[in-house]
Amino acid sequence: MANPSLLILPGDGIGPEVMAEVKKIIDWYGDKRELRFDVSEDLVGGAAYDAHGTPLADATMAKAQEVDAVLLGAVGGPKYDKLDFSVKPERGLLRLRKEMDLFSNLRPAQCFDALADFSSLKKEVVAGLDIMIVRELTSGVYFGEPRGIFTEGNERVGINTQRYTESEIARVARSAFELARRRGNKVCSMEKANVMESGILWREVVQKVHDEEYPDVELSHMYADAGAMQLCRWPKQFDVIVTDNLFGDLLSDAAAMLTGSLGMLPSASLGAPMANGRPKALYEPVHGSAPDIAGQGKANPIACILSFAMALRYSFDQGAEADRLEKAVEKVLADGVRTADLMGPEGGKPVSTAEMGNAVVAAL
């Protein structure tokens, strides 16, 4: 049988640096566990724009559709701020999500024991925290039409459209319920049904999918503003949160920051199963391209490494190997190995991106 295929898109800023460490991990799995991947690499975001004048070349898009999984670093940077909207680095990422139809974005917000002191929250509020935010990723206000800047009378108006069909809501709800069954068996759905009709439909469909297909899972509903509050107050009340594209963007970022482990958090974006049974999939760290520290060997590669662990689990059915990698990361942290972003006020000498990658390989 052919090796599973992996397309690596390092992207911009610290993307290439953190991805270099993931490649060491991939090599380790090939050498030591005979888990070999057919790896190819290409450009996305600003890097693709610089080379091709587009943040995602058609050939890259085609390749992404064919491989078993895509691993992405990060996109964007101040260099591209003045570009036209249509060719901004972000459009490359959004095109991947949309054309691969990656409707379910899994964003774990986990607090690593060794890092509980890092959170701006009190230790007892975050220690042991482990929630999963399932964000709808291919619809809503990110993609709804009409959109644009138009002229009306003597002024301009900026328009975007929030738009959700029943089937779009149902499929991401299913993915949240499935996940919940393998975790704490609890789902909280968030919208603004008190002000938005799209939120009313969202709530109704999530409830229907629950009642008909997942009555065993505990379901609750919360307005997204109350959800933001509750995440800040007592995040441990949640197990799985399911929400739309835009709310998910804000809520998952807030949750990630609350853990104190932002540089540590991976994500998986999953679509429908392909012919080989694997879901279409893209894995990427939650953190961005961090242009301020790019090229200095300061970046923390763990979020990207853990994104590869998610790939092992969700794309390659290698749950045990994913566990192994996650344990290796925990061990390295417990040993006190720290990149600059993880240095506490007590100080000490941070390790470089490469040293952190090497430490994880050694722990494997």
Kindly list the catalytic residues. 142, 192, 225, 249, 253
> Strand 266-273 to strand 279-285: parallel, antiparallel, or no bridges (unpaired)?
antiparallel
When CB distances are held under 5 to 8 angstroms depending on the partner's kind, the choice from a second copy, ligand IPM, none that residue 167 binds is a second copy
Residues 6 or more apart whose CB falls under 8 angstroms from that of 361 comprise 24, 25, 28
* In the complex, minimum distance from the CB of residue 45 to a second copy, in angstroms, rounded to a whole number: 12
Nearer to ligand IPM, 87 or 125 (CB): 87
Which residues contribute to the site for a second copy (CB under 8 A)? 76, 85, 88, 90, 94, 120-122, 125, 141-142, 144, 147-149, 152, 155-167, 192, 194-202, 224-226, 228-234, 246-247, 249-251, 253-254, 256-258, 262, 288
* In the complex, minimum distance from the CB of residue 341 to a second copy, in angstroms, rounded to a whole number: 12
Q: Alpha-carbon distance 22 to 72, whole Å?
A: 11
Nearest to 15 by CA among 262, 268, 290, 270: 290
* In the complex, minimum distance from the CB of residue 155 to ligand IPM, in angstroms, rounded to a whole number: 25
Which residues contribute to the site for ligand IPM (CB under 6 A)? 90, 93-94, 194-195, 225, 249
- 5 labeled binding residue: no
- 230 labeled binding residue: no
- 87 labeled binding residue: yes
- 349 labeled binding residue: no
Query: What would the two tokens of residue 14 be?
Result: 């610290």
When CB distances are held under 5 to 8 angstroms depending on the partner's kind, the choice from a second copy, ligand IPM, none that residue 341 binds is none
Query: What would the two tokens of residue 306 be?
Result: 């853990």
When CB distances are held under 5 to 8 angstroms depending on the partner's kind, the choice from a second copy, ligand IPM, none that residue 5 binds is none
Q: Are 298 and 350 a contacting pair, CB within 8 Å?
A: yes
When CB distances are held under 5 to 8 angstroms depending on the partner's kind, the choice from a second copy, ligand IPM, none that residue 274 binds is none
Q: Which residue is nearest to ligand IPM (CB)?
A: 90
Nearest to 242 by CA among 269, 263, 221: 221
- 185 labeled binding residue: no
Nearer to ligand IPM, 42 or 253 (CB): 253
Give every strand in the sheet of 266-273, ordered side by side: 38-41, 5-11, 69-74, 279-285, 266-273, 104-110, 130-136, 240-243, 186-191, 218-223
Nearer to ligand IPM, 95 or 210 (CB): 95
Distance (Å) of CA 189 to CA 98, 161, 176, 243 = 23, 21, 9, 6
When CB distances are held under 5 to 8 angstroms depending on the partner's kind, the choice from ligand IPM, a second copy, none that residue 272 binds is none
Nearer to ligand IPM, 31 or 225 (CB): 225
What are the φ and ψ backbone dihedral angles of 141, each rounded to 5 degrees? -70, -15
Distance (Å) of CA 140 to CA 89, 143, 205, 245 = 20, 6, 15, 6
Nearer to ligand IPM, 265 or 332 (CB): 265
* In the complex, minimum distance from the CB of residue 47 to a second copy, in angstroms, rounded to a whole number: 17
* In the complex, minimum distance from the CB of residue 87 to a second copy, in angstroms, rounded to a whole number: 12
Angle at 194 between CA 192 and CA 198, to 5 degrees: 55
- 348 labeled binding residue: no
Nearer to ligand IPM, 51 or 195 (CB): 195
Estimate the crossing angle of helix 353-363 against helix 15-33, to 10 degrees.
20
- DSSP state letter for 262: G
Q: What residues are designated binding site for substrate?
A: 97, 107, 135, 225
Q: Which residues are annotated as a binding site?
A: 77-90, 97, 107, 135, 225, 249, 253, 288-300
